[in-house]
Homo-oligomer: A and B are copies of this chain.
Amino acid sequence: MTTALHETAEAQACCAPLVAAPISPADADALARTLKALADPARLRLLSLVAAHDGGEACVCDLTDPVGLSQPTVSHHLKVLVDAGLLTRDKRGVWAYYALVPDTLDSVAAALGTQLRS
């Protein structure tokens, strides 16, 4: 299960820097899909809360109060983030625990940034 999720995360890695050369239609589609998952205030807050949580992972039970949304709504947003390869989901006992996939965020940042790193 965890392996399958990591494979999803890898599949999202994209793209060459946007400003270095014209982006291909396929890369533009892939990058836009990940950006759509990110382009929601509640999902940005959830990503940020998961990253800042003790041990770098959090369950839905940790997240509903801070964002002020119902558990089904939070679960929906977390699923979008998992499907986009931005979070992993690990079911342990009653709860599922979510953790950040830093590589996916970093690949988006690298595709958008105009200052190439040395």
- Interface of A toward B, CB cutoff 8 Å: 18-23, 25, 28-29, 31-32, 35-36, 38-42, 44-45, 47-49, 51-52, 66, 100, 102, 105-106, 108-110, 112-115, 117
A24 to B25, CA, bound (A): 34
Q: How long is the Cα–Cα vector from A105 to B31 in the complex, in angstroms?
A: 14
Provide the main secondary structure of the chain A interface. Answer: helix
A38, B21: Cα distance in complex, Å: 17
- The residues of B that contact A22 with a CB separation of less than 8 Å are 45, 48-49, 52, 66
| Chain B residues near A40 (CB-CB < 8 A) | 32
Report the bound CA distance from A117 to B116 in whole Å. Answer: 12
Of all chain B residues, the one with the shortest Cβ separation from A33 is B39
Q: List 16 interface pairs A-B (beta carbons < 8 Å), by A numbering.
A: A18-B51, A19-B48, A19-B51, A20-B52, A22-B45, A22-B49, A22-B52, A23-B44, A31-B44, A32-B44, A102-B115, A105-B112, A105-B113, A106-B114, A112-B112, A117-B117
